[in-house]
Amino acid sequence: MNLTANIAGFNFDHILLNAAGVVCQTSDELDSVLASDYTGAVVTKSATPSLRPGNVSPRYHELTNGLGTINSMGLPNEGFAYYMDYVTQKQTDKPIFFSVAGLSKQENLDMLHKIEESKFNGLVELNLSCPNVPGKPQTAYDFETTEEILTEVFSFFTKPLGVKLPPYFDIVHFDNIANILNKFPLAFVNAINSIGNGLVIDEETDTVVIKPKGGFGGVGGPIVKATALANVRALRQRLSPTIKMIGTGGVTSGRDVYEHVLCGADLVEVGSQLAIEGISVFERLEKELTAILTEKGYNSLDEVRGQLKIIE
């Protein structure tokens, strides 16, 4: 079965990888994603210029009944230099996505200048959608600022770069963000980050389940799948064909991967379910996906990509 994809000249032998933030904060975790025979790439935890411990705990919770997860990690990461060392020194055949999430435009520009000047030869994912830093809004909900940042970035940045977006919930917002993104030579767009600022309450104690921000946090897992698919589909329909799509959100089965591809995803990332199940999730998902493709008589994911049917 051909499960390959290509983004900006990089070949991916498998469609799956981790979602930024999950099993990718330390070099050992990054190594474990790369070492899987069923991943096509790895993405780093979003880096800030300096090391951050993140928010207070408890800051991550798995909902009962497997509905999903809520997190308010608050961008804990080892700092830009740590990931720069990792991504420039790692010997691997798989492409590496270097995720960055500055807390201001200037922090993003400073990190991207350093990447531009470095020998890094992978892809960069600019995270414009972290919902969990107190006092910092999700950048990509501010269309003007998003356009301003990308204008400055592409005034000097020449390496393959994509953006990680928050979920959008209105057709006019799909139109607006796509119009802006189409103005830039983006390598890819990744949809979606967690659904920001959800609230989960513990039944026994009538208490929120995470401590930061009074219990508000980013929601992932099966409960966000419909929103994730809608964002992948809506953006695929609106973005220039030169901009590839990464689908993230609600992937717990091979069928979920298949549906992301139907909506137009070139690669598919696993977040909550990777946190819950561990690295072996990639083997299970790829085998389930292959079984579906075989049963339907396909030889390649290219035959499926974007082929979602609608009711005329």
Q: Catalytic residue positions?
A: 130
- Distance between CA atoms of residues 307 and 296, nearest Å: 13
Q: Does 127 bind ligand RRO (CB under 6 A)?
A: yes
104 contacts: CB under 8 Å, gap ≥ 6: none
**Tokens 């069928």 belong to which residue?**
255
Q: Does 248 bind ligand RRO (CB under 6 A)?
A: no
What span, in angstroms and rounded, lies between the C-alpha atoms of 191 and 116?
Answer: 24
CB 247 within 8 A of CB 237: no
Asked if 132 interacts with ligand RRO (CB under 6 A), we say yes
Find the part of the chain contacting ligand RRO (CB under 6 A) among 127-135, 173-181, 227-235, 294-302.
Answer: 127-135
Q: Which is nearer to ligand RRO, 18 or 71 (CB)?
A: 71
Q: How far is the CB of 139 from ligand RRO (least distance, A)?
A: 11
Q: Which is nearer to ligand RRO, 19 or 41 (by Cβ)?
A: 19
Binding to ligand RRO in span 174-193, by CB under 6 A: 193
Report if residue 25 touches ligand RRO, rule: CB under 6 A: no
Q: At what angle do helices 143-153 and 105-117 cross, to 10 degrees?
A: 30
User: Is 250 an interacting residue with respect to ligand RRO (CB under 6 A)?
Assistant: no
Q: How far is the CB of 308 from ligand RRO (least distance, A)?
A: 26
DSSP string, 213-258: GGGEEEEESGGGHHHHHHHHHHHHHHS-TTSEEEEES---SHHHHH
For ligand RRO, the binding residue among 194, 227, 252, 272 (CB under 6 A) is: 194
For 146: left if phi > 0, alpha if psi spans -120 to 50, otherwise beta; the answer is alpha
Helix axes 80-89, 27-35, angle to 10 degrees: 40
Task: Pick the binder of ligand RRO from 33, 73, 177, 224 (CB under 6 A).
Answer: 73
Chain residues binding ligand RRO by CB under 6 A are: 21, 46, 71-75, 101, 127, 129-130, 132, 193-194, 218
